Amino acid sequence: MSKFKAVLFDFDGTIMDTNTIILKSWQHTFNTVLGRDPVHEEIVATFGEPLEVTMGKLFPDRDTHEMVETYRNYQRHIYKDDITMFPGMKDVILELKTRGYKVAIVTSRLWYSTRTGLYKFDIADLFDAVVSAEDTTIHKPDPTPCLLCLEKLGITPDEALMVGDSKFDILCARNAGVDSCLVSWSISVGDELREQLAPEYYITDAMQLLDIVENA
């Protein structure tokens, strides 16, 4: 019998391919404010971090709220059309539910845009809990979002597996005492950083999650 009762998923870069959307939004923001493109590596390194935190770091001399609105106003225009789902994610979520596991989302994205993506692919009703940016003032890599999700699900840290694509996801899980799984389609975690983060699991195909959960 598996020790896991639930799988917690990050949203951006894990279930949904929003990488191009995010990069285009940053490009728009930098061009609008500074008249130049952002440094790709600098932006990718922030994937998974709350937007307000990143804005404060990248534009310390600007009003963070105005910068966030510049970014989000642009993203609203492209988000619904451009968002896609990574191969196999819908199937694995459906199969986890069929096998009796709980599934949840722990994301630093706002609930409205998270919900928009979930409804576009008809998976919103599959999730037993969602923790989004509005649910807490303390975000990944702090354990608070993960612990809040566990509380909603009524389970303990050792009964959950957290799946993500960024260092913030893996560290959040570790800080919460939850096993983590890194996805190979991450564009923010290369081999060197993966070795440093040392997640308990690593998958190259979404359906591999089933074997991990069933055999834990």
Parse the chain into domains and list their residue ranges: 6-17+84-215, 19-82
Q: What is the pLDDT along the chain (216 residues), one digit of tens a residue?
A: 789 999 999 999 999 999 999 999 999 999 999 999 999 999 999 999 999 999 999 999 999 999 999 999 999 999 999 999 999 999 999 999 999 999 999 999 999 999 999 999 999 999 999 999 999 999 999 999 999 999 999 999 999 999 999 999 999 999 999 999 999 999 999 999 999 999 999 999 999 999 999 999
| Distance (Å, whole) CA 185 – CA 96 | 20
Kind and range of the H or E element at 85? Answer: strand 84-85
Is 10 catalytic? The answer is yes
- How many residues can be counted in the chain? 216
Residues in a beta bridge with 203: 183
Sign of the CA dihedral running 144, 184, 20, 95: negative
pTM of the shown model: 0.95
What percent helix, strand, coil does the chain show, rounded to 5? 50, 15, 35
Cβ atoms of 104 and 130 within 8 Å: the answer is yes
- How many whole angstroms separate alpha carbon 104 and alpha carbon 14? 13
- Overall fold of domain 6-17+84-215: Rossmann fold (3.40.50)
Q: Which of 10, 17, 165, 179 is catalytic?
A: 10
First CA to last CA distance, the chain: 8
**Which fold does the domain 19-82 belong to in CATH?**
DNA polymerase; domain 1 (1.10.150)
Domains 6-17+84-215 and 19-82 share a fold: no
Check residue 1 and give its pLDDT.
72
